Chains A and B, each alone.
Chain A
Amino acid sequence: MTLVADTPPGQVIAPPTPPPAPTSAERWRLRGPLLPALVFTLALTQIPFLMTLFFSIRRWNLLSGGDQGFNWGHNYVDTATDPIFWKSILNTVLITGVSTVLCIAIGLLIAMALNHSFPGRGIARTLAITPFFAMPVAVTLFWRSAMFDPTFGLFGFLSRSVGLPAVSWLSDYPLLALVVLLTWRFTPFGLLIMLAGLQGAPQDQLEAAQVDGAGPFSRFRFITLPHLRPFIELAALLLAMNLIQTFGEIALLSAGGPAYATTNITYYIYLKAFNAFDFGFASALGVVALVLTIALVSPVLRLLSGIFQSEGRR
């Protein structure tokens, strides 16, 4: 990372002394280009959050009517004592955790094959990354009727053709069905990142290890895996960031059901806000979701910031 300070026009030889501290006007000139983006993002993210915080301590249910007013921590007490809230937290953790691990593991396996050259590798790779681009709403609806349906779906056909009864995925294993769909959709993401990591693997070390008689497993374990670590960490963070917010797949695959079996925190907020119209309660849920996300993500983020600060690590 080389950041080059500008030399004033006409000054051919830069003096070896450190540049003088910028004046106030100079600092604003540097900041200028940043401000539109910063102001826009602040307005669009921080103001709604502060408003959510304010709504979360108010009584505000459009359906039950009555006055709006402060009820302070009441919504939070309701949240903490709501079993569905806890179920949605558990579901969020399960959906995010299991899918993230699967996307990285399967992605790594396929990437290791695609890292070797073989006939048609380019085509295979192109086909493999396709699910990531298809419109999520579209593929979710398609999976619902053409894959998961016990009578008409492909999985039902496959179970029947090996002599097993067809499973009704969406009513019997709804969470598993959701994880399967999400894993399918996001594995290409893991795959692309793992492939990028493998392509930068230290070939000289791998060859030297082979000469020294190290088997494929120990070469992977002691050379490739340490090299891949930052890629795995990054992929995990970015996948988790996406998966924790899963909404469309849930809304269209199972509508959070049956019996809240696939309701994650995002979908529960949506249900409370736009089906039950309990804006106060939904706002409290939003604040809790934010706090939990920060608690979950900030250790990873710190890690990530380490990766960025030592860009020469690779």
Chain B
Amino acid sequence: MKPNVLKRSGIAVGGWVGSLVLFFPIFYMVVKSFQTEIDAANPTPQFLFTPTLTNYAEALQAGIGPYAVNSLVVVVVSTLVVLALAVPAAYALSVRPVAKAQDVLFFFISTKMMPIAAGIIPIYIVASALGLLNTITILVLMHIGMNLPLGIWMIRSFMQEIPGEVLEAASVDGAAGWTKMRSIILPLIKPGLASTALLCAVFSWNEYFYAVNLTTSKSTLPLFLQKFLSFGELYTAHVAAVATLVSLPVIIAGWAAQKSLVRGLLFGAVK
């Protein structure tokens, strides 16, 4: 009995230590965000200090607002369009599959393997010719392209799980096409749609490559953060406050949705 207790507590300690090591930098970031720059720059980490909200106040005054609005617009619009395009596509690839559905699916995922840098010059040139450089529109378009394969794969895997009998019964009752989609399929895959939307939103919120290459002033939050680099030395406490501010919504969403996340991260490949 005794070695069993020992083993159990060993596992518990191991699990906690591993998790805390992974979490620590985030915790440390939040701690530093409430410090003065002087405390934050102390070579010995400070954990007992008088918390201050100065960094947050200054972050808000430094013009984070427009960037936050842009991020929100890009995330919401691109995620909605991804869902609108992915639901019918997933339907055509699962419920009533087109010929060579498997090949089409692999085409979609193969676009995720393409180095993003390989296409950026033409995209930059076309965007420039169309007057889309430094606009939110171009970011929305690129984020749709980035998340659409993920959306199709995930939603398809949820549709695959609808029992055949349910769909059959619906057809027998005369439901076809749009009616079947609206009254049978969509309600059944609602949780799946939610987790798909969440993952797309997270990736869109965090996206940096297109933002830095296609926009300058009219851009999203990652570019606002990047400005801290151009001042030469980094102001740790300020960076920590802004970093906490922009990461928090996504972290909370991720915590809330962790149960359904796995299959999303696996593109719905493993059940």
- Residues on A close to B: CB < 8 A? 1-12, 27, 30-34, 36-38, 40-41, 44-45, 47-49, 51-52, 55, 106, 109-110, 113-114, 116, 118-121, 124-139, 141-147, 151-152, 154, 156-157, 160, 184, 187-189, 191-193, 195-197, 230-231, 234, 238, 241, 244-245, 247-248, 251-252, 265-266, 269-270, 273-274, 279, 282-283, 285-287, 289-290, 293-294, 297, 301, 304-305, 307-309, 311, 314
Contact = CB atoms under 8 A, between A and B. Distances in A.
Interface of B: 8, 11-12, 14-16, 18-20, 22-23, 25-26, 28-29, 32, 40-45, 85-86, 88-89, 91-99, 102, 104, 106-108, 110-126, 141-142, 144-145, 148-149, 152, 160, 164-165, 167-168, 171-172, 174, 176, 202, 205-206, 208-209, 212-213, 221-222, 225-226, 228-229, 234, 236, 239-240, 242-244, 246-247, 250-251, 253-255, 258, 261-263, 265-267, 269-271
Nearest to A279: B121
A277 B202 CA distance: 32
Contacts of A188: 22
B168 A128 contact: no
Contact of B254 (A34, A124, A132, A238): A132
B207 to A, nearest CB: 9
B108 to A, nearest CB: 6
Contacts of B261: 129, 192
Contacts of B29: 134, 139, 142, 146
B8 to A, nearest CB: 7
B258 A134 contact: no
Contacts of A119: 12
A157 B44 contact: yes
A273 B121 contact: yes
Nearest to A280: B121
B228 to A, nearest CB: 6
Contact of B122 (A51, A114, A143): A51
Contacts of A114: 15, 18-19
Contacts of A269: 115, 117-118, 120
Nearest to B212: A251
Contact of B113 (A230, A294, A305): A294
Given A114-B19, A139-B247, A196-B263, 16 more contacts: A2-B164, A7-B171, A8-B171, A34-B89, A41-B111, A49-B114, A52-B121, A114-B18, A125-B258, A127-B22, A131-B23, A184-B25, A192-B262, A238-B266, A241-B112, A274-B213
Given A192-B265, A266-B115, A142 B15 contact: no
Nearest to B82: A37
